[in-house]
Amino acid sequence: MNLIRPFRGLRPRPEHAAEVVAPPYDVLDTREARERAAGRPWSFLHISKPEIDLPEGTDPYDPAVYRKGAENLQRMIEEGILMREERPCYYVYRLQMGEHVQTGLVAVASVADYERNRIRRHEFTRPEKEDDRVRQIDALNAQTGPVFLTYRHRQEVDEIVAGVCKGEPLYDLTADDGVRHTFWVMADEMQQARITGLFDAMPCLYIADGHHRSAAAARVAAMRNGGQPPSGEHGWDYFLSVIFPDNQMKILDYNRVVKDLNGLSPEAFLSRVAEAFRVEPAAEAVRPARTGEFGMYLAGRWYRLTVHPDRVPADDPVGRLDVSVLADQLIEPVLGIADPRRDKRIDFVGGIRGLGELERRVDEGGWAVAFSLFPTRLEELMAVADAGEVMPPKSTWFEPKLADGLVSHVLDE
């Protein structure tokens, strides 16, 4: 069984692509999705967030939601908005956000290799979110949200991808958030065979984003194979992926805000923080420039925190992450938050929102203190995955985001 393979994509006809493309299902809540899809009958949000077409207040996990998504997908096929590729293809997908450009390969990846950890993960999944994706994939008989994968770059792959990009793109559009999405078909069978062979020679791939989608795909494959191992003969033995080289990836900071100071006064809190960090007042917002450095916004003032070196475990790929250092040396012992996955006193703010969002949350009174972090590096993520470990929640924020709707993987092959 190949690590990746081409597939017969279900995709918009070029003249409808701009009407179809939508943000990923998990970056909008129901209200935002309803507003974004208003007046846009072919928006992919009608498939990825189908509760927007049901009465307000509908539970997004209600069986009617999944049925509505399948109905909307079928309607878009019947109306000719979406079409099925006649033969298997790879696709090349380029994202451009400002000056940043990354170009990846769209393929389906092996469930069997996911299960034997050749496609490596670095996060735990939440059961309710995983169950949701299982129901969605099963109801649609398709995977509509790609898993975001990465690999240690190879020049030979770069050269083939660059050659495809010299041709006329199938789609070239700019989404509402200003991100440009350009999409090519790789239909040449010799190119396909070469790409397949190059990836087969790689020791592993890494999940950057999409742990719930990949886990759900594996569960659907197990259901449809009657509990037998994937044979590679069926569409459900693979999952939809976009695979980018590691040297093109962009990770932003993933910051934290906390509701209260765990009963401490600001003065007592600062004193406790100083046990593990050097604390320096700062004249402006602190965007950390290196690992081991943090910004802290408290009572209308920024501080620069630098962890004492003896507090960082050098030989622990998880413990030495900045997100772990902050949790282990401050958030748990000082603020009393031991389980950030479930504790409602902490929230996470993607770096795309800027440091001003941290100031706003604290200044408006809903939160007591905010922390800015240096972005987790991709080599740190890979080291954790290679060690078979998992990262703390909300360790990475990848930008730009993949769009939904450009291509889907039907499971009837």
* Within-domain flag for 379: no
DSSP element (H, E) containing 18: helix 17-20
Q: Where are the alpha helices (DSSP H) in 201-341?
A: 211-224, 266-273, 322-326
Q: How would DSSP label each residue in 126-143? A: -HHHHHHHHHHHHHHTEE
Q: Split the chain (413 residues) into runs of 10 and give each run's mean pLDDT.
A: 96 97 90 94 97 95 97 98 97 96 98 97 90 97 96 96 97 92 97 98 96 96 93 95 96 96 98 98 97 97 97 93 97 95 91 94 94 96 94 90 96 80
Q: Clarify whether residues 163 and 303 are in a common domain.
A: no
Rounded distance between C-alpha atoms, residue 24 and residue 401, angstroms: 7
Amino acid in position 381: L
DSSP element (H, E) containing 112: helix 111-115
Q: Clarify whether residues 161 and 260 are in a common domain.
A: no
Q: Clarify whether residues 271 and 363 are in a common domain.
A: yes
| CATH number for the domain that contains residue 259 | 3.30.1760
Structural domain total, the chain? 2
* Within-domain flag for 358: yes
Residues contacting 119, CB < 8 A, separation 6+? 3, 109, 110, 113, 149, 204, 205, 206, 207, 214
Residue 126: predicted pLDDT: 83
Q: Clarify whether residues 198 and 341 are in a common domain.
A: no
Q: Clarify whether residues 239 and 297 are in a common domain.
A: no
Residues contacting 116, CB < 8 A, separation 6+? none
* Within-domain flag for 223: yes
Q: Clarify whether residues 204 and 295 are in a common domain.
A: no
Q: Clarify whether residues 48 and 84 are in a common domain.
A: yes
Which residues share a beta bridge with 172? 182
Rounded distance between C-alpha atoms, residue 71 and residue 47, angstroms: 8
Q: Clarify whether residues 76 and 139 are in a common domain.
A: yes
The pTM (predicted TM-score) of the whole model is: 0.91
Q: Clarify whether residues 263 and 340 are in a common domain.
A: yes
Q: Clarify whether residues 160 and 178 are in a common domain.
A: yes
Q: Clarify whether residues 278 and 155 are in a common domain.
A: no
* Within-domain flag for 355: yes
* Within-domain flag for 390: no
* Within-domain flag for 384: no
* Within-domain flag for 389: no
Q: Clarify whether residues 403 and 317 are in a common domain.
A: no
Beta strands 147-151 and 238-245, pairing class: parallel
Range of the domain at 274: 254-374
> Pseudo-torsion of CA 231, 237, 243, 393, nearest 10°?
-120
Contact 66, 57 (CB under 8 A): no
Residue 287: predicted pLDDT: 97
* Within-domain flag for 264: yes
> Pseudo-torsion of CA 345, 261, 257, 147, nearest 10°?
-50
